[in-house]
Amino acid sequence: MIQMVASRPATGEVSSCRDAYLSAYRWMLLGRILDEKFASLYRAGKIHGGVFIGRGQEALSVAIGQSLRKGDIFAPLIRDQAGRLAFGESVLEAARTYLGSVLGPMRGRDGNVHRGRPKEGYLPMISHLGAMIPVVNGMLLARRFKGIAGTVGATCLGEGGTSTGAFHEALNQAAVEKLPLVLIIANNQFAYSTPSSRQFACRSLVDRAAGYGVEGHSLDGTDLTACLKVVGEAVANARDGRGPQLVVARLLRLCGHGEHDDAGYVDTKLKQSPVGRDCLKVAGEYLVRQNWAERETLVAWRNEATQKVEEAIAKAQREPAPDPYTENWCALASKHLSEVYE
């Protein structure tokens, strides 16, 4: 059922496929375990605000994180823990943001999934869906101005987010400018409680690619092989100057919208259908079947990842929270222009 490559590949290709798969699997596993830890901390009342995890979307997310290179731009969304790790975010950075450590990149000013390092090409999402796409476009435009070639910008969105004006404006903008944008849509069947059928009426969102004049790709988001292949190709196409790439993956959100939500509205039949497969399980089984890893190795990796997560969480929990009395209450970069309100 899962096909690595269609034709008989050369030995070198196989080993690079295998290496990519193995590394992707381990990022997925780490992302899953980190997400599960955040969820359990949430249930224990140890997280301020909500927790949003990417259970079931790790294969797609890791494919984008892993297909990007240093110097590329990545604007992940709420279900991209695996992709963030593969792109270079540390477990500690995620832990610090969720736990409100003042040493985290957002210093307690923003939290949970709203984190990033813009100077490193890693954008901190705002909540407003679709809003990150034109910002990636702008960074790509700037690179064109500056004569920097060969980098791409990737960003992720749910199918619900495609109903925004921002999505339309930005994809059209990228197409007109022929920017190296890779726009990854995770059609996980639900936007909070709203099924895809209330979100769009076309057969598949990938059909929209033609309307925008961009290349479109669709894939099974539960299959890591397909994710690495298709997302990898889309990134390569963008890098080659073929303009924006729209990638649409079919999968299922295997969790609530946030950890406050029991997702009771998701039909059991859907969960049992192919779209409801757990990509991490599927990938693990594939590894074993291919003789790329033993079952015991998978267990060892899991333990290793768990330990890494526990250490980072413990560290972040010991770190200081922001202090409102030493906090610099100024939103401006031009400090001399800031006003004092007393």
Partner 1 sequence: MSITYLEAIRLAQKRALAEDPRVFIYGQDVGAFGGAFKATKNLAQEFPGRVIDAPISEDAMVGAAIGAAIEGMRPIIEMQFADFSTVGFNQIINQAAALHWRTQVPCPITIRLPSGGTSGGGPFHSQSMEAIYAHYPGLIVMTPATVEDAYSMLLEAVAIDDPVIFCEHKYLYYHLKADQLPTEAMPTGKARIARSGRDLTIVAYSAMVHEALAVAEELATEGTEVEVVDLRSIKPLDTDTVMASVARTGRLLCVGEAFPWGGVTAEVIARVASEGFGLLDAPPQRLNAKDTPVPYHPNLWAVHRPTARSIVVAARKLLRQ
Ligand X SMILES: Cc1ncc(C[n+]2csc(CCOP(=O)(O)OP(=O)(O)O)c2C)c(N)n1
Task: Using only the alpha carbons of the chain, give its radius of gyration.
Answer: 20
Residue 83 interacting with ligand X (CB under 6 A) = no
Closest approach, Cβ 240 to ligand X, in A, equals 29
Note the maximum CA span of the chain.
Answer: 73
Cβ proximity to ligand X, 157 vs 313, nearer residue: 157
Q: Distance between CA atoms of 8 and 18, rounded to whole angstroms?
A: 14
- Of the candidates 112, 123, 107, 102, which has an alpha carbon nearest to the alpha carbon of residue 35? 112
Q: What is the DSSP letter of 207?
A: G
For 71, 95, 233, the CA distances from 122, given in Å and listed in that order, are: 10, 17, 21
What ranges make up the beta strands (E) of the chain?
A: 73-75, 153-158, 181-187, 190-191, 194-195, 215-220, 245-250
Residue 89 interacting with partner 1 (CB under 8 A) = no
Nearest residue by C-beta to ligand X?
158
User: Considering only 63-71, 185-193, 210-218, 292-300, which stretch makes contact with partner 1 by CB under 8 A?
Assistant: 185-193
User: Considering only 2-10, 44-52, 65-73, 86-94, which stretch makes contact with partner 1 by CB under 8 A?
Assistant: 44-52
User: Considering only 146-154, 159-167, 219-227, 305-313, which stretch makes contact with ligand X by CB under 6 A?
Assistant: 159-167
Cβ proximity to ligand X, 101 vs 173, nearer residue: 173
Residue 129 interacting with ligand X (CB under 6 A) = yes
Subset of 111-130 contacting partner 1 (CB under 8 A) = 111-112, 114, 126-129
Q: How many CA atoms lie within 13 A of 191 on its CB side?
A: 18
253 binds, among partner 1, ligand X, none (CB under 5 to 8 A by kind): ligand X
Q: Distance between CA atoms of 94 and 85, rounded to whole angstroms?
A: 9
Q: Which of 12, 45, 147, 324 binds partner 1 (CB under 8 A)?
A: 324
Helices then strands, each counted (H, E), the chain: 11, 7
Q: Which residue ranges make up the site for partner 1 (CB under 8 A)?
A: 47-50, 100, 106, 108-112, 114, 126-129, 160-161, 163-166, 191-194, 198-200, 265, 321-325, 327, 329-331, 338-339, 341
